[in-house]
Amino acid sequence: MKYSLQLNILFSSLFALISFTQAEEVLIAEEFKAYQFSSNDVVGWNQKTVKLCEQTSFQDFSKGNMFGVFAKETPNLQKIYQNLPPHWSLSVRVDVLLYKSVDNEKVNVVLDGTTYKTYQKDKYDGVKICLGSTSYNDQLYFFQKNITHTNSQLNLQFTSNFDQDNSDEGFGIKNLSVRVDTCHPSCATCSGPSQNQCQSCPNKGTLQNGACTCPSMGIAHNYQCLNQCPQGFQPDSTNSFCVETFCNPSKCSKCDSNGQSCSQCANGYYQFRKGCVQQCPSFAPQQGQTCQDPSKSTPNGDYLLIGLNSNNFGESEIAALGLQLSNFNQATFGNCGSVQLLGGPFIGGKGSQILKTFQNIKPHFQVRFGFQYYQIDSWDSEGFKVYVDTNQIDEIKQDQAGGKDNLCGSNSWKDNFYSYSKSIQHNSQSLEIKLNATFDEDYFNESFGIRELFVIVDYCPPGCASCDSNQCFKCFDGYQKSGTKCVNTCADDEFSLNKVCNKCDSTCKSCKDTAQFCTSCNSGRYLYQNQCLEKCPDNYFNNSLNNMCSQCSIGDCPLCLPPGYSSSCKNCSGLKIISNKCPK
């Protein structure tokens, strides 16, 4: 089995978290997701039965396949997933269909011997999803369970107690995925994602206070001790494990010398933020080999949150984004056609709410956020209300005319997807963004999903404590306000008063405390008693070396030239000059 490793989460606040922990959500397996598949696609299970559904009402099952039907003959369906990478948490997400004349028999979902869910229905419960024409119904359930798990194998079982064979009743499964949250790459086993949560160490490493150290000269990478980091990785600041750089040659053809960013991506990759991605997010449209990053359209814009961009994010990424979800139907994520959604068909719907709160946001004047949302099935002038800091700022609505293709859910209604983004003036330290669904029918009639979520904050310029898009109103301590900006020190021709830089009088080159108190002069002016004069007073000469009035150096001489001139003293108040000096 090949693990598809990927960094699902790219964002500033969480990027810090991820690069600190170096642990990530890894998709272990994804099965029975195709609309059609055969027994040959069933790998590692103790059964191979595949059913072609007869009904045509639901896109996923309409003449599509499911793994099943399993009944009396197969009381124990199971697969053992082996060689899981070191991890501390595991999640299983699967759609379970109770088929036809199930009459209170039970289907249990069992992980490593523990039953986490039991499904049960009456033969008339549900709707016609897969079964052939009959007076009975099918019921679809969405299993999602997240457990603490460290073992390198998982035994996934579906046990049942049917008394008829699979032409009459039973269950089938679709859209199965297994994910783990991996350990820090320096551990062999762990209790959590951090570097100091190791429970055992890889080859010859030593464990101390939860952290593993490789033998001298060794460095940890991918749960092993190596002599050096492989290409595309470099030692972390403590020289104990390898971190991915932005210089992986398969993705980046030109990176900066310390690997902190890529300036030219390899073919098939597009520059986004500091690295290279295979596909630009929809809010950052591709242009040439770069994604047009909206955070860069303003001088101090940056992501506060960015996620749900991949096609296999799971519960771990949703949790890491800090999204609080309520009233989702059984699970929190699903698929619509080829994309992964938070919510999804039959899962996000009536009463669902998505809430995200942020605290301690640095001074800013604007917040921009957005996502893609999927209209699934019978929306009739419905969608969701968008709240910012408890104020409703928008209502997103679509109706059935907006449906374009049948992407997922029910075949009776066409579906569609849209980009939503909003820019709001905002400056408080905390921010709450909330989406409240406005549907009036249940999850099976109308549902929604979102993906590609971002929140960009337009921060005040450095040193500025309060601003709008044009100017700074107040600077932090240690900073002075200069025009529209905050600076450490005022410009040469400014003086600081009450932390504001003011222009000096135009005659001064620099000044202090007041505009008129010059401390140096521009050329053509000469400093005398903190004024910049055009002409120096008696007994001083225009010193153009430093633009100051310098004292005549020879005797009492009201009008002199700079010392060194052949006749320095030019006028002795009417008295006769003797040897370039004025008589005493």
Q: Which residue ranges make up the site for ligand NAG (CB under 6 A)?
A: 33, 60, 89-91, 95, 146, 174-175, 179-181, 314-316, 319, 326-327, 334-337, 344-346, 351, 353, 408, 436, 441-442, 445, 534-535, 541-542, 559, 571, 573-574
Q: Which does 380 bind (CB under 5 to 8 A by kind): Ca ion, ligand NAG, none?
A: Ca ion
Calculate Rg over the CA atoms of the chain.
Answer: 36
Which of Ca ion, ligand NAG, none sits in contact with 146, Cβ below 5 to 8 A by type? ligand NAG
- The distance from CA 235 to its chain's CA centroid, rounded to whole angstroms, is 24
Using the rule CB under 5 A, is 441 a contact of Ca ion? yes
Q: Which of residues 382-421 bind Ca ion (CB under 5 A)?
A: 406, 409-410, 413, 415
CB of 375 to Ca ion, least distance (A): 9
Q: In angstroms, rounded to a whole number, what is the distance separating the alpha carbons of residues 138 and 417?
A: 28
Site for Ca ion contains 293 (CB under 5 A): no
256 or 380: whose CB is closer to Ca ion? 380
Of the candidate residues 399, 440, 442, 513, the single one contacting Ca ion (CB under 5 A): 440
Say how far apart CA 305 and CA 452 lie, in whole Å. 10
x/- contact string, 296-335, with Ca ion (CB under 5 A)? Answer: ----------------------------------------
Query: What is d(CA 202, CA 571) in angstroms, rounded to the nearest whole number?
Result: 94
6 binds, among Ca ion, ligand NAG, none (CB under 5 to 8 A by kind): none
Cα 89 to Cα 148: distance, rounded to the nearest angstrom: 5
497 binds, among ligand NAG, Ca ion, none (CB under 5 to 8 A by kind): none
Q: Looking at residue 516, what DSSP letter applies?
A: T
**Contact partner, 69, from ligand NAG, Ca ion, none, Cβ < 5-8 Å per class:** none
Helix (H, G, I), strand (E, B) or coil at 297: helix
Toward ligand NAG, which CB reaches closer, 408 or 433? 408
Q: Which is nearer to Ca ion, 409 or 463 (CB)?
A: 409
Which of Ca ion, ligand NAG, none does 202 bind, CB closer than 5 to 8 A by kind? none
CB of 144 to Ca ion, least distance (A): 22
Integer Cα distance of 280 and 133 in angstroms:
45
Which option in ligand NAG, Ca ion, none does residue 538 bind, with CB closer than 5 to 8 A by kind?
none
Q: How far is the CB of 562 from ligand NAG (least distance, A)?
A: 8
Contact 34, 42 (CB under 8 A): no
Residue 137 or 542 having the CB closest to ligand NAG: 542
Q: How far is the CB of 415 from Ca ion (least distance, A)?
A: 4
Q: Which of 226, 559 has the CB closer to ligand NAG?
A: 559
Using an 8 Å Cβ cutoff, are 178 and 156 in contact? yes
Q: Draw the binding track, 7-26, toward Ca ion (x: CB under 5 A; -: no contact).
A: --------------------
CB-based contact 55:61 (threshold 8 Å): yes
* DSSP 8-state symbol, 320: H
Which of ligand NAG, Ca ion, none binds 415 (CB below 5-8 Å, type-dependent)? Ca ion
Residue 132: which residues within 8 A CB-CB, separation 6 or more?
A: 54, 55
Contacts with Ca ion in 197-226 (CB under 5 A)? none
Least gap, CB of 571 to ligand NAG (angstroms): 4
Pairing of strands 76-81, 154-160: antiparallel
Pick between residue 141 and residue 162 the one whose CB is nearest to ligand NAG: 141
Could you give the 3-state DSSP secondary structure of residue 153? coil
> CB 412 → ligand NAG: shortest distance, Å?
7
Are the C-beta atoms of residues 90 and 144 closer than 8 Å to each other?
no
Chain residue whose CB lies nearest ligand NAG: 334
d(Cα 157, Cα 495) in Å, to the nearest integer? 77
CB of 380 to ligand NAG, least distance (A): 11
Question: Is the CB of 56 or the CB of 203 nearer to Ca ion?
Answer: 56
Within residues 340-379, the interface with Ca ion by CB under 5 A covers 377
Output the smallest distance, CB 405 to Ca ion, in A.
9
Stretch that binds Ca ion, among 151-159, 432-440, 532-540, 574-582 (CB under 5 A): 432-440
| 291-309: burial string, b at 16+ Cβ within 10 Å, e else | bebbbeebebbbbbbbbbb
Cβ at position 58, least distance to Ca ion in Å? 8
Of 340, 311, 318, 329, nearest in space to 446 by CA:
329
- Residue 485, CA distances (Å) to 361, 429, 482, 511 in order: 20, 21, 5, 20
Number of Cβ atoms within 10 Å of the Cβ of 98: 28
Structure tokens at 171: 């269950």
Query: Which lies closer to ligand NAG via its Cβ, residue 103 or residue 441?
Result: 441
Identify whether the C-beta of residue 323 lies closer than 8 Å to the C-beta of residue 342.
Answer: yes
- What CA–CA distance (Å, rounded) separates 542 from 132? 108
Is residue 366 within 8 A of residue 453, CB to CB? The reply is no
Q: How far is the CB of 420 from ligand NAG (least distance, A)?
A: 17
Instruction: Report the distance separating Cα 336 and Cα 375, nearest Å.
Output: 10
* Closest-approach residue to Ca ion (CB): 409
Compute the least distance from the CB of residue 471 to ligand NAG, in Å: 35
Residue 335 contact among Ca ion, ligand NAG, none, beta carbon within 5 to 8 Å by kind: ligand NAG
How many residues bind to Ca ion according to rule CB under 5 A?
A: 9
Q: How far is the CB of 262 from Ca ion (least distance, A)?
A: 40
- Residue 113: closest CA among 74, 73, 76: 76
Q: State how far the Cα of 391 lies from the Cα of 204, in Å rounded to an integer.
A: 57
**Closest distance of CB 382 from Ca ion, Å:** 5
Q: How many CA atoms lie within 13 A of 357 on its CB side?
A: 7
3-state secondary structure 421-476: EEEEECCCCCEEEEEEECCCCCCCCEEEEEEEEEEEEEECCCCEEEECCCCEEEEC
170 forms beta bridges with: 99
* Residue 380 binding Ca ion, by CB under 5 A: yes
Provide, rounded to whole angstroms, the least separation between the CB of residue 440 and ligand NAG: 7
Give which of ligand NAG, Ca ion, none residue 33 binds (C-beta under 5 to 8 Å, depending on kind). Answer: ligand NAG
Q: Which residues bind Ca ion (CB under 5 A)?
A: 377, 380, 406, 409-410, 413, 415, 440-441
